Amino acid sequence: MKHFQTLLALSGCFWIAGCHAPKRASYVSTEAMHVIDDSQQAETAWTAIRDTLRQNFMPLDRVDRRAGIITTTPVMSQHWFEFWRGDVATREDAIESSINPIRRWVEVTVAMDDARNWTQLSVAVHKQRLSSPDRQFNNSGAAYQFFGESLPSTVGDPKVTAADQRWIDAGTDPALEEWLLKKMLQETNLRVATNDGGSGG
């Protein structure tokens, strides 16, 4: 059993090192374009955007074609052993999501001109980190109750419950924004202006 755990941990390290690129100084999250809204190309592109999100385990929340907005439901980001997922794009993000409760949600925006022709496609990936009050650990057995609701807080509350936890804004994920944008553009045969680098798995 101990050898299996060691092998599993080593596999996770190799996955993080091999399947994810290091962070770069800058990324591209928008693409200028000219697509006639009432056309087959626009319909194909809209479908490809939704499919790209679904294929990367990002469940759709708001889908508003007239407003040109698609958002996803916040989902806990992949851990090192979830190699089949694709919602972290760099080694640093893979490590962060493996040791911290991090969730992400995506906002895709299609800008249109007065004639409702597409002029720009933008992808924003929002990150949130779980904030929870510190719990008291008075004995070794308390570690097994860390994710439960029986331990008191360090500030005197009798116990810490889910109501005491909240998700706080942790900024955006530019690397994943670029990776998703690139995938969407490739699926629709639109011009790809993003740089090489970054991969979701």
- What's the pLDDT tens digit per position in 71-115? 999 999 988 888 887 788 888 888 888 888 899 999 999 999 999
Residue 170, pLDDT score: 93
Judge whether 198 lies within some domain: no
Q: Write out pLDDT tens, residues 175-186.
A: 999 999 999 998
Percentage of the residues of the chain whose pLDDT score is greater than 70: 66
Gap between the Cα atoms of 112 and 115, Å rounded: 8
Return the higher-pLDDT residue of 133 and 169: 169
pTM, to two decimals: 0.73
Judge whether 196 lies within some domain: no
pLDDT > 70? residue 65 = yes
pLDDT > 60? residue 133 = no
Q: Which of 15-19, 48-52, 120-124, 173-177 has the lowest mean pLDDT?
A: 15-19
Judge whether 147 lies within some domain: yes
Give CA angle at 54 (53, 56), nearest 5°. Answer: 70
Judge whether 144 lies within some domain: yes
Judge whether 201 lies within some domain: no
Residue 3, pLDDT score: 47
How many domains does the chain contain in total?
Answer: 1
Judge whether 193 lies within some domain: no
Q: What residues make up the domain containing 128? A: 2-188
Judge whether 72 lies within some domain: yes
